Amino acid sequence: MVPLSYYLILSALLFSIGTVGVLVRRNPLQMFMSIELMWNAVNLSFITFARQYTNMAGHVFVFLVITVAAAEVAIGLAIIVVVFRTREHADVDELNAMKG
């Protein structure tokens, strides 16, 4: 059997990739996908820990996270569409009406 720590390391790697993606990418859709990657990396951690303790709380947590993530995507995409309907490129660096 694969040791549980491998899953935790994989989850940490995925989370880091997501974090770097948010910080480096400038396209809001790609940033949003990176955020989703972070959330799902966390899900993997929850499942691993649930396996380790053989209790169901981690599984329940993952279901809740998936549900909330779905709601977040719905709202997020709606906002992205509203913002970029009037613009040519989807690039967060162009969102600079406010400064200081």
Partner 1 sequence: MNFPVINPLSVLPEIILLATSIVALFIALFLPDRRGHQLNYLGLVGVLAAIAVLPMLWAKVEVGFGGAIVSDHFALAMDAAILVSALAAFLLGLREVEPGADYVALVLWAALGMMVLTSAVELLSIFLGLEVLSLPLYVLAGFRRDRTTSKEAAMKYLLMGAFSSGIFLYGLAFLYGATGKVSLASIQAAILQNFTSHPLFLEIGAGLVAVGLAFKLALVPFHQWVPDVYEGSPTPVTAFMSVGTKAAAFGALVRILTVALPAGIVHWQPLIAFLAVLTLLFGNLAALRQTNMKRMLAYSGIAQAGYLVVAIAANSQMGVGAGMFYVVAYAFMNIGAFAVVAALSGQNEEGAEIASYRGLAYRRPWLAVSMTVFLLALASIPPLVGFPGKFYILRAAVSSGGVLLAIAIVVGTMISLYYYLRPVLLMFTHSEETESPFPATAHWTAHVTVGVMLAGTLVLGILPGLLTGPLQNAVHAIYGL
Residues that bind partner 1 (CB under 8 A): 8, 15, 18-19, 22, 28, 31-32, 35, 38-39, 41-42, 45-46, 48-49, 52-53, 55, 57-58, 60-61, 64-65, 68, 71-72, 75-76, 78-80, 82-83, 92, 95, 97-98, 100
Q: Minimum distance from CB of 83 to partner 1 (Å)?
A: 5
Residue carrying the six token digits 């059997």: 1
Side chain identity at residue 62, one-letter code: V
- The dihedral through the CA atoms of 63, 67, 72, 73 has a sign that is positive
Report how far residue 56's alpha carbon sits from residue 84's, in angstroms, rounded to the nearest whole number: 42
Report how far residue 99's alpha carbon sits from residue 17's, in angstroms, rounded to the nearest whole number: 29
Q: Minimum distance from CB of 42 to partner 1 (Å)?
A: 5
Q: Minimum distance from CB of 40 to partner 1 (Å)?
A: 10
